[in-house]
Structure 1
Amino acid sequence: MNKKNIILASSSQRRIDIMHQHGINPAIFPADVDETIPEGAGMEDAVMYLALKKALFVEQMVLKENHEHPVIIAADTVVYKDKIIGKPKDRQDAYDTLWSLRAKEHFVATGVCILQAETSIRHCFYEITKVFFKDFTDQELNAYLDTSEPYDKAGSYAIQGKFGQYVDHIEGDLNNVIGFPWDRIELEFNHIFK
Structure 2
Amino acid sequence: MKPLVLASKSPRRKQLLSEAGFSFDVVPVKISEIPNKNLNVNEQILDIARRKARAALPLLKASRTEPFIVLTADTEVIFGGGPLGKPQDREDAYRILRLLSGKYHEVLTAVCAVESSSGKELSHVETTKVYFKNLSDAEIWTYIDTGEPMDKAGAYGIQGQGRTFVERIEGPFDNVVGLPVEAVKNLLSKF
TM over 0.5: yes
Could you tell me which residue of structure 1 aligns to residue 17 of structure 2? Answer: 19
Counterpart of 2:139 in structure 1 is: 140
**Structure 1 outlier segments of 4+, above 4 Å:** none
Q: State the one-letter code of the partner of 2:25.
A: A
How many residues are matched?
190
The alignment's TM-score, normalised by the length of structure 1, stands at 0.94
1:187 equivalenced with 2:186 (yes/no): yes
Q: Identify the match of residue 56 of structure 1 among 39, 54, 76.
A: 54
CA contact (8 A) 1:8 1:30 kept: yes
Within the candidate set 43, 46, 54, 1:45 is matched to 43
Query: Residues of 2 paired with 1:66 and 1:188: CA distance?
Result: 23
- TM-score, normalised to structure 2, is 0.95
In structure 2, how many angstroms separate the alpha carbons of the residues matched to 1:102 and 1:52? 32
- Residues of 1 paired with 2:186 and 2:46: CA distance? 17
**SS of the counterpart of 1:125?**
strand
The reply to whether residue 93 of structure 1 matches residue 78 of structure 2 is: no
Deviation at 1:159, TM superposition (A): 0.7
Contact 1:43 1:78 in 2 (8 A): no
How far apart are the structure 2 equivalents of 1:106 and 1:157? 12
Q: Displacement, 1:120?
A: 2.7
**Gap regions ≥5 residues in structure 1:** none
Question: Secondary structure of 1:78's match?
Answer: strand
Structure 2 gap segments, 5+ residues each: none
3-state secondary structure, aligned to 1:73: strand
Offset, 1:150: 0.9
**Distance (whole Å) between structure 1 residues aligned to residue 98 and residue 171 of structure 2:** 23
In 2, distance between residues paired with 1:43 and 1:26? Answer: 29
Partner SS for 2:60:
helix
